Chains A and B, each alone.
Chain A
């Protein structure tokens, strides 16, 4: 055994030991999290990992993601080369690709050569991008980023240096299959003595080894920890789309919500490690867009910082998770800014679950601390006492139907329950939608009825705002009512009711067929059960995707098809549409709160709509309706542009 090998063994053992120690320290913290079963359906999980992590499905959705794709795959393939490199260092004569037959060896060396140059180009592009047109946040230009990029670039240069020197020395038999290294070798003057070349090989080899091991050990301490965590995070990703938040158990002695970092589930903590800090969540966040303090990227990062800061301080967190004025990692104001629109989760390449984390922290503030924006006190009281957000007498729920004949839902006689919802029943503007929908239902030939004054709020706002205790009671009460009345199919007019009844109530083993009116009307049209004259009053209708209809429940096509059918023309699209749709600003309970920071979300969205010069904006949600109505008035455009619910457009097209 030569002295070089001995030296290398020492270096390698130290480097690997330190790497494992670092990993132990970092990942040991994850085990502090609460249990969460993410080991079921292993085949599906494995597929998710292949599809999303190795396939880089979400990464490549942005043009520059291609660069990452190249780097990722170069990295994967060079992992083989680098493993061989390290093993070869330990046993130069035993383990070496050079011992393979010519064909295999030449192919491998060719691939490695090309991959290395691709990686080098990708890294150089990434450096240029950061220097010239960086992503819209400062950390993209952090030292961290340049160190890693520099290390990767150095690794590639060392690789080429090593190979080029070997080729020049004539000791590389695959030379003609390694175009880049060969080109490098041609730069070395032919008169260089063999001993110099040999030294060069040695120097590049050690340089390569040094960078490789430094890179390995730098990973756990940088944002590039995602190299280690993002692939498993795709494996552990929620098997279903994250459409709701988990239930809480209301037992004596329990704590509710999350006020300390170790109360997150282990997956919640792992998410913070998996974050690549790419900033796509913030790019798509309505709060960030309107200059509010919430930036989902920073929120996830802050959870990680808090976890690391409190490491080893069991139970006595030095740095509180939540606190205002820099006292805690996440400011309270930040937690309340979220509209739960889900845009962050839709774009995250590694499937971080932002919204449930935010709701967890809201639960802590509401249920443990009773600390929330004061406007919410009225809401919570009204919900608890009168089961509607405004505190209007429940008897008024039937007033919308004062001039028409609406039947009560009858067991075994009525097919569909029309769950009107609070806005549809109480809000003057949205009552017009309700009436339109009632008209459509009458024409559709199905039997339908309502619960009248016995209908209660679904509790959507309460759940998103973290008032899980009251939501829990309301959900149980509603499910009992539905079950007692023999309800099997429910039509809703509000996407929030829709998603709550459909997704949230399922956690209570409720099994109702819930349809939103867009889905229902589209079904009637497709089956030929609803005949429409074309509504020709509009020259251009622009369509706004409701978050809880589109992103949460995938209903993108139904409303568009209905508009096309009812008006004879496909709707105009907003700049940001479908899964990139931009929230109206009212979701997640924001409807009931003041918007004190930054600019107004609804105005931003209205401006986006007005840019396309529509004469009507089509919405499918009572909250969106209110937000657009207000926004149009703010922009003094209410005279020129009207907001209509899809049901109203269809009702206009109904034959008399």
Chain B
């Protein structure tokens, strides 16, 4: 009986448009069709060429309003029902008969979540630890290991840091050839390890270095890469859902890497929260020797020339910024901002006007032609909020604006606005913070 059933040819049916359902979404089915069997009519509705159609059903899946169906004639439907009955009767056989996409089968070999640890001569980039945080969630859902990838020269100390931020395994490549970052050496190293250990997900920070590296690796491995993700999660089939803004930020696109592995994403710094550090955590270290020879690398780093103008304070990385504008009147007055910043553990920044007036260095400038910042708290002091400035700071978590002019545009983006003389308001805030801290310290001593 079972043998006989196998002989019955499964009817293919006919792909067809359900009249009136098409919304002329813009030829998604036409684009999706691998056989070019779909052409659009002038109304933007699909015409399906059944000669070419293989019934792969991809158009059905892509259609946002389910306007395409596979139609079976009554006879075909009968056969189908018969088959379904057989399947119910002999589930084991049916399972065997189920066609598994060979492309998908291969993907099952890939396991584990990897996070690339970025560092500059041993000094880690914080984004790597942030990615271990989101990586841990992904690994938990997939029930796989969270691994960190440490590549460099004398970078053993990063291993314990990686464990402290949540990695359970670290692949360590410690070789002088990796002393400086060079695209060629690093991407070859990553490709080698990925091909050897087959991780399913690889996360890299969307920094200058990370963007360079991720692109090279993904190209070499012929896999998908989603840049600048703002959200990462796992769907019920186990795919990595990579969310990022698209079309100029008007929509959020969720991107899947369906048929290739690993699934690669980059995430900008400060997008993911930094996980709690626990120095007591331990893990496995896998030491690897990667066959990358110095002679093979065309690029040589002769010398690193540090930017002499580089301010010791990195405004973009600060959590609290006290920023002053034209309203500060002179360079001397920035002292009161520095006092407040000191009390709060923040840094002082400024608007373009202050740089042009020569009160502050260019490196501290926030805005269109300066730095883009998104601190936890941004004080805009004596800054009217010209658009050039706003675009550099409007994504800050909390904006506190202090300005004499109550119609200043800065108040449109401010969380809290204080209309008043900054020379009275700022010292008052500083004093208050100082008192609060003293009180707290007093309490701590008392208890």
Q: CB of A184 within 8 A of chain B?
A: no
Q: CB of A592 within 8 A of chain B?
A: yes
CB distance from B80 to the nearest CB of A (A): 45
Q: CB of B356 within 8 A of chain A?
A: yes
* B326 to chain A: closest residue by CB: A633
Q: Which of B42-50, B186-194, B385-393 contacts A (4 or more CB under 8 A)?
A: B385-393
Q: CB of A427 within 8 A of chain B?
A: yes
Q: CB of A582 within 8 A of chain B?
A: no
* B356 to chain A: closest residue by CB: A600
* A456 to chain B: closest residue by CB: B248
Q: CB of A654 within 8 A of chain B?
A: no
- The answer to whether B368 touches A387, judged by C-beta atoms less than 8 angstroms apart, is no
CB distance from B47 to the nearest CB of A (A): 23
- The answer to whether B249 touches A393, judged by C-beta atoms less than 8 angstroms apart, is yes
- 8 Å CB contact of A393 from B248, B326, B388: B248
| Residue-wise interface mask of B (384-422) relative to A, using a CB-CB cutoff of 8 A (1 in contact, 0 not) | 011110110000000000000000010010000000000
- The answer to whether B412 touches A391, judged by C-beta atoms less than 8 angstroms apart, is no
Residues of A within 8 A of B388 (CB): 390
- The answer to whether A385 touches B248, judged by C-beta atoms less than 8 angstroms apart, is yes
Q: Enumerate B331-357 residues with CB–CB distance to A below 8 Å.
A: 353, 356-357
CB distance from B294 to the nearest CB of A (A): 29
Instruction: Kindly state the separation between the CA atoms of A392 and B413 in the bound complex, as whole angstroms.
Output: 13
- The answer to whether B248 touches A386, judged by C-beta atoms less than 8 angstroms apart, is yes
Given A378-B369, A385-B248, CB of A390 within 8 Å of CB of B387: yes
Q: Enumerate A384-419 residues with CB–CB distance to B below 8 Å.
A: 385-387, 389-395
Q: CB of B250 within 8 A of chain A?
A: yes
- 8 Å CB contact of B368 from A378, A428, A429, A630: A378
Q: CB of A375 within 8 A of chain B?
A: yes
* A428 to chain B: closest residue by CB: B409
Instruction: Kindly state the separation between the CA atoms of A387 and B247 in the bound complex, as whole angstroms.
Output: 10
- The answer to whether A391 touches B369, judged by C-beta atoms less than 8 angstroms apart, is no
- The answer to whether A428 touches B250, judged by C-beta atoms less than 8 angstroms apart, is no
Instruction: Kindly state the separation between the CA atoms of A594 and B369 in the bound complex, as whole angstroms.
Output: 7
Residues of B within 8 A of A427 (CB): 386-387
- The answer to whether A394 touches B250, judged by C-beta atoms less than 8 angstroms apart, is yes
CB distance from A627 to the nearest CB of B (A): 11
- The answer to whether A395 touches B368, judged by C-beta atoms less than 8 angstroms apart, is no
Q: Enumerate A573-618 residues with CB–CB distance to B below 8 Å.
A: 592-595, 600
Q: CB of A160 within 8 A of chain B?
A: no
- The answer to whether A426 touches B369, judged by C-beta atoms less than 8 angstroms apart, is no
* A633 to chain B: closest residue by CB: B326
Instruction: Kindly state the separation between the CA atoms of A471 and B285 in the bound complex, as whole angstroms.
Output: 52
- The answer to whether B326 touches A426, judged by C-beta atoms less than 8 angstroms apart, is no
Number of chain A residues close to chain B: CB under 8 A: 29
* A591 to chain B: closest residue by CB: B388
- The answer to whether A634 touches B369, judged by C-beta atoms less than 8 angstroms apart, is no
Residues of B within 8 A of A385 (CB): 248
- The answer to whether A626 touches B386, judged by C-beta atoms less than 8 angstroms apart, is yes
Given A378-B369, A429-B409, CB of A387 within 8 Å of CB of B387: no
* A626 to chain B: closest residue by CB: B386
Residues of A within 8 A of B386 (CB): 427-429, 626, 629-630
Q: Enumerate B115-138 residues with CB–CB distance to A below 8 Å.
A: none
Instruction: Kindly state the separation between the CA atoms of A391 and B250 in the bound complex, as whole angstroms.
Output: 12
Residues of A within 8 A of B372 (CB): 378
- 8 Å CB contact of A633 from B248, B353, B362: B353
CB distance from B67 to the nearest CB of A (A): 24
- The answer to whether A387 touches B248, judged by C-beta atoms less than 8 angstroms apart, is yes
CB distance from B351 to the nearest CB of A (A): 11
CB distance from B382 to the nearest CB of A (A): 11
CB distance from B447 to the nearest CB of A (A): 49
| Residue-wise interface mask of B (363-390) relative to A, using a CB-CB cutoff of 8 A (1 in contact, 0 not) | 0000011001000000000000111101
- The answer to whether A634 touches B387, judged by C-beta atoms less than 8 angstroms apart, is no
Q: Enumerate B232-250 residues with CB–CB distance to A below 8 Å.
A: 248-250
Q: Enumerate A345-393 residues with CB–CB distance to B below 8 Å.
A: 375, 378-379, 385-387, 389-393
- The answer to whether A426 touches B368, judged by C-beta atoms less than 8 angstroms apart, is no
- The answer to whether B387 touches A592, judged by C-beta atoms less than 8 angstroms apart, is no
* B388 to chain A: closest residue by CB: A390
- The answer to whether B369 touches A428, judged by C-beta atoms less than 8 angstroms apart, is no
Instruction: Kindly state the separation between the CA atoms of A384 and B68 in the bound complex, as whole angstroms.
Output: 36
* A431 to chain B: closest residue by CB: B409
Residues of B within 8 A of A593 (CB): 369
Instruction: Kindly state the separation between the CA atoms of A385 and B372 in the bound complex, as whole angstroms.
Output: 17
CB distance from A639 to the nearest CB of B (A): 10
- The answer to whether A592 touches B369, judged by C-beta atoms less than 8 angstroms apart, is yes
* A423 to chain B: closest residue by CB: B387
- 8 Å CB contact of A592 from B250, B353, B368, B412: B368
Instruction: Kindly state the separation between the CA atoms of A453 and B372 in the bound complex, as whole angstroms.
Output: 25
Given A390-B368, A592-B369, A633-B353, CB of A395 within 8 Å of CB of B387: no
* A453 to chain B: closest residue by CB: B250
CB distance from B250 to the nearest CB of A (A): 6
- 8 Å CB contact of B391 from A391, A595, A633: A391
CB distance from B21 to the nearest CB of A (A): 25
Known pairs A427-B387, A429-B386, A634-B356; list 5 more (Cβ under 8 Å).
Answer: A375-B369, A385-B248, A394-B249, A626-B386, A630-B353
A-B contact pairs, 19 of them (CB 8 A): A375-B368, A385-B248, A387-B248, A390-B387, A390-B391, A391-B391, A392-B391, A393-B248, A394-B250, A395-B249, A428-B387, A429-B409, A453-B250, A592-B368, A592-B369, A594-B369, A595-B356, A630-B386, A633-B326
Closest 10 CB pairs of A and B: A428-B409, A386-B248, A375-B369, A390-B391, A393-B249, A427-B387, A394-B248, A594-B369, A395-B250, A633-B326
